[in-house]
Amino acid sequence: MGRIGTIENRKNKQDAKRAKIFTKLGRYIMVAAREGGGDPMYNPALLSAIEKAKAANMPNDNIDRAIKKGTGESDGAIFSELTYEGYGPGGVAVLVECLTDKQNRTAADVRSYFSKGNGNLGTNGCVSFMFDRKGVLVIDRTETMDEEEVMMQALEAGAEDFIAEEDHFEIYTSIEDFGAVRDTLKADGHEFSMAELRYLPQTTTALTDEDDIKNMQKLIDLLEDSDDVQTVYHNWEQA
């Protein structure tokens, strides 16, 4: 099974959660535009943010507004990037990336979520060493695609790993090579359902106790339901 599991299907969540997803993506675009400028040709972070938004079917008007807010062309809150680390039930390692305009509120909320999920918020560095930062590209399969050809294109472009799943291909790169691999495969005519930098666990932790499983899922749900939380990474080995 691919290393990213079901998270690559987040774009297919029900419509009821779409507005919340767009809110998170808008913040992501704003911060990228603020830090590197509003032209994606010269701002790889913004290009990745836009591609992520388009993969989630975010309207172009929403994307344009977020860019303008980030570059100061229209009024917008100033968001800060924060990362929290901690442990879920059974010692599962959890990394939480946030974008927030109120750090104290976010810190209190995240601490509360860990507590409600029977976990513990830790200090910076307590679990991050258990993850590798990698570029992840996902290409949805079509009937006309030749698996070996796509694999060779990815590896020749500089990818570190290639995993073929039933309905998609997962391509992994170093942080440094991510942009070059993405651009080369795009020039080869490929489109991505995911194109971003992610934390991948080096090892996984299995949970067998039913209460631990319920609490771990509760922790993930609480974190992902927060507007301030952008991405949740963990090393829980889910069946």
15-41: pLDDT as tens digits:
557 788 888 999 989 988 988 888 988
In terms of domains, do 94 and 36 share one? no
Instruction: Classify residue 23 by burial, with Cβ atoms within 10 Å: 0-12, 13-18, 19+.
Output: middle
- Do the domain assignments include residue 10? no
Q: What percent of the chain has pLDDT over 90?
A: 65
The pLDDT confidence band at residue 125, using thresholds 50, 70 and 90, is very high
The reported pLDDT for the residue numbered 87 is 98
In terms of domains, do 135 and 63 share one? no
Domain holding 30, by residue range, is: 15-71
In terms of domains, do 86 and 46 share one? no
Mean pLDDT, rounded, for 208-213: 96
126-158: pLDDT as tens digits:
999 999 999 999 999 998 999 999 999 999 999
Cα–Cα dist 182/161, whole Å: 14
First to last CA, the chain: 11
- Do the domain assignments include residue 1? no
- Do the domain assignments include residue 27? yes
- Do the domain assignments include residue 8? no
* Residue type for position 23: T
Question: Given a cut of 90, is residue 193 above it in pLDDT?
Answer: no
- Do the domain assignments include residue 3? no
The reported pLDDT for the residue numbered 198 is 92
The encoded tokens of residue 91 equal 């010692």
CATH number at residue 50: 1.10.10.200
The reported pLDDT for the residue numbered 114 is 98
- Do the domain assignments include residue 34? yes
Mean pLDDT, rounded, for 99-114: 95
How far is Cα of residue 56 from the mean position of the Cα atoms in its chain? 12
In terms of domains, do 46 and 126 share one? no
Residue (of 227, 13, 216) closest to 118 by Cα position: 216
The reported pLDDT for the residue numbered 17 is 72
Task: Provide the domain count of the chain.
Answer: 2
Mean pLDDT, rounded, for 197-202: 94
What CA–CA distances, in Å, run from 106 to 102, 124, 134, 144, 232?
6, 16, 26, 46, 14
In terms of domains, do 58 and 155 share one? no
- Do the domain assignments include residue 5? no
In terms of domains, do 103 and 131 share one? yes
Mean pLDDT, rounded, for 158-173: 95
The reported pLDDT for the residue numbered 145 is 92
Last residue of a domain, one of 24, 46, 71: 71
In terms of domains, do 159 and 213 share one? yes
CATH number at residue 89: 3.30.70.980
In terms of domains, do 119 and 151 share one? yes
Decide if 200 contacts 134 (C-beta within 8 A). yes
How many helical (H) and strand (E) elements, i.e. helices and strands, does the chain have?
Answer: 7, 8
Residue with tokens 């507004």: 65
How far is Cα of residue 96 from the mean position of the Cα atoms in its chain? 10
Per the DSSP assignment, residues forming a β-bridge with 171 are 137, 162
Mean pLDDT, rounded, for 190-206: 92
- Do the domain assignments include residue 206? yes
Angle between helices 18-36 and 60-71 (to 10 degrees): 40
Decide if 56 contacts 78 (C-beta within 8 A). no
Cα–Cα dist 229/221, whole Å: 11
Least confident of 33-37, 111-115, 184-188: 33-37
In terms of domains, do 67 and 86 share one? no
The reported pLDDT for the residue numbered 20 is 83
Question: Given a cut of 60, is residue 89 above it in pLDDT?
Answer: yes
Mean pLDDT, rounded, for 58-64: 92
Mean pLDDT, rounded, for 47-63: 88
Query: How much is the pTM?
Result: 0.81
